[in-house]
């Protein structure tokens, strides 16, 4: 596929104009249609993508690997322990070498204060496109799939659509800030009115909130914050209840210097908010046609009840997950 995006990195949707993102969505829809019709789309025949995961993944790993196969290429599924990264080889050297051997590099590194810098260092030194599979700040592929799903279920005219991004309780692990941060940056650019709810100890990063407010101003939309989950659900047309860790409460240097103490404090704060769950009572506060979205994996019974997550009239989480494939293929075919 010839494309003006060849070689363009994909570390955050912020680096792509709205017009460029429109092309990404059109390409994703076309690929989705062709996938459904079993029409071949071998746009990356004989091309290689190197994927380096520092953390676990189901959707991201498989959307990228299956996507590369469906585009006629191949993805190497690498983890740090399989590579010399584990002996300290730098992201710079790794990127130079892999970009000489293949056609794209993709990596997930969510360590707070480290991940985005790591991926940016790779991008600076790679001659081939570098794609973020999630870092400590952004999860751009998730943002694309979220917006594509909103377009499909609520229409392409998203002006003043009411979307609530709410913190929710979970006891699995401290989830990164990158999903809600990507959503509050991206949705307002498409005219969506976003309300964010979180307990006071679980803010998003200040600099991202500032950027998101600017995006809302430019997009003619609104971005509001509250510490009250009920208030945020009132009248919402889409609700996204999801846990994120309390990283945003700390300056990066403060966190890195006192990691153990910060983690202990985050855990103690978490236990205060077990009632932050998306259940029938909360859903009744929202618009009568409200849709539930979640990047998944969901912490069932904590973030959201089974009853809501499995309600086919409300939940669109599996369409959202499937759209990870089509948006991944779109970015890969346009940039590689």
Residue ranges binding ligand CP (CB under 6 A): 57-60, 134, 142, 295-296
Between 55 and 201, whose beta carbon lies closer to ligand CP?
A: 55
Between 25 and 54, whose beta carbon lies closer to ligand CP?
A: 54
Rounded to an integer, what is the distance from CA 31 to the centroid of its chain? Answer: 20
State the Cα torsion 77-83-88-90 to the nearest 10°: -60
Q: How far is the CB of 35 from ligand CP (least distance, A)?
A: 19
Who contacts 179 (Cβ-Cβ below 8 Å, separation ≥6)? 139, 142, 242, 244, 295
d(CA 138, CA 149): 19
Q: How far is the CB of 244 from ligand CP (least distance, A)?
A: 13
Q: How far is the CB of 325 from ligand CP (least distance, A)?
A: 12
Who contacts 144 (Cβ-Cβ below 8 Å, separation ≥6)? 13, 21, 24, 25, 28, 323, 327, 330, 331
Residue number of the CB closest to ligand CP reads 60
Q: How far is the CB of 173 from ligand CP (least distance, A)?
A: 11
Between 125 and 174, whose beta carbon lies closer to ligand CP?
A: 174
Between 95 and 133, whose beta carbon lies closer to ligand CP?
A: 133
Between 57 and 227, whose beta carbon lies closer to ligand CP?
A: 57
Q: Which residues pair with 165 in a beta bridge?
A: 196, 240
Q: Nearest CA to 272 among 198, 328, 333?
A: 198
What are 157's two structure tokens? Answer: 């005219």
Between 134 and 158, whose beta carbon lies closer to ligand CP?
A: 134
What are 147's two structure tokens? Answer: 């917006």
Q: How far is the CB of 321 from ligand CP (least distance, A)?
A: 7
Q: Nearest CA to 315 among 284, 280, 291?
A: 291
Q: How far is the CB of 275 from ligand CP (least distance, A)?
A: 25
3-state secondary structure of 105: strand
Q: How far is the CB of 178 from ligand CP (least distance, A)?
A: 9
3-state secondary structure of 154: helix
Between 110 and 229, whose beta carbon lies closer to ligand CP?
A: 110
Q: Nearest CA to 224 among 275, 13, 216, 140?
A: 216
Q: How far is the CB of 58 from ligand CP (least distance, A)?
A: 4
Rounded to an integer, what is the distance from CA 203 to the centroid of its chain? Answer: 17
Between 193 and 320, whose beta carbon lies closer to ligand CP?
A: 320
Between 48 and 142, whose beta carbon lies closer to ligand CP?
A: 142
State the Cα torsion 20-110-253-250 to the nearest 10°: 90
| Sequential DSSP letters for 245-276 | -GGGGS-HHHHHHTHHHHHHHHHHHHGGGTT-
Q: How far is the CB of 91 from ligand CP (least distance, A)?
A: 21
Rounded to an integer, what is the distance from CA 102 to the centroid of its chain? Answer: 25
């Amino acid at each position: 596929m010839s494309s003006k995006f060849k070689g363009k990195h994909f570390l955050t949707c912020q680096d792509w104009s709205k017009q460029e993102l429109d092309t990404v969505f059109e390409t994703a829809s076309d690929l989705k249609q062709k996938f459904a019709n079993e029409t071949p789309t071998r746009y990356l025949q004989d091309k290689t993508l190197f994927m380096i995961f520092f953390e676990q993944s189901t959707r991201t790993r498989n959307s990228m690997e299956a996507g590369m196969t469906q585009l006629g290429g191949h993805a190497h599924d690498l983890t740090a322990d399989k590579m010399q990264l584990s002996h300290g080889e730098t992201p710079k050297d790794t990127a130079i070498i892999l970009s000489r051997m293949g056609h794209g590099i993709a990596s997930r590194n969510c360590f707070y204060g480290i991940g985005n810098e790591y991926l940016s260092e790779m991008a600076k030194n790679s001659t081939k496109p570098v794609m973020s599979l999630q870092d400590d700040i952004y999860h751009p592929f998730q943002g694309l799939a979220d917006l594509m799903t909103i377009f499909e279920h609520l229409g392409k005219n998203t002006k003043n659509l009411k979307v609530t991004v709410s913190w929710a309780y979970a006891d699995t692990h401290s989830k990164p800030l990158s999903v809600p941060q990507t959503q509050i940056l991206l949705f307002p650019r498409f005219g969506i009115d976003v309300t964010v709810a979180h307990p006071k100890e679980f803010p998003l990063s200040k600099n991202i909130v500032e950027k998101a407010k600017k995006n809302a101003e430019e997009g003619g939309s609104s971005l509001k914050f509250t510490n009250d989950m009920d208030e945020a659900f009132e009248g919402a047309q889409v609700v996204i209840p999801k846990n994120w860790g309390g990283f945003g409460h700390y300056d990066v240097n403060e966190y890195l210097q006192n990691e153990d103490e910060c983690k202990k404090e985050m855990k103690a704060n978490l236990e205060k908010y077990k009632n932050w769950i998306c259940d029938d009572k909360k859903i009744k506060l929202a618009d009568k046609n409200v849709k539930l979205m979640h990047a998944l994996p969901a912490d069932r019974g904590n973030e959201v009840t089974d009853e809501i997550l499995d309600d086919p009239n409300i939940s669109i989480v599996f369409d959202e997950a499937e759209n990870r494939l089509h948006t991944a293929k779109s970015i890969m075919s346009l940039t590689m």
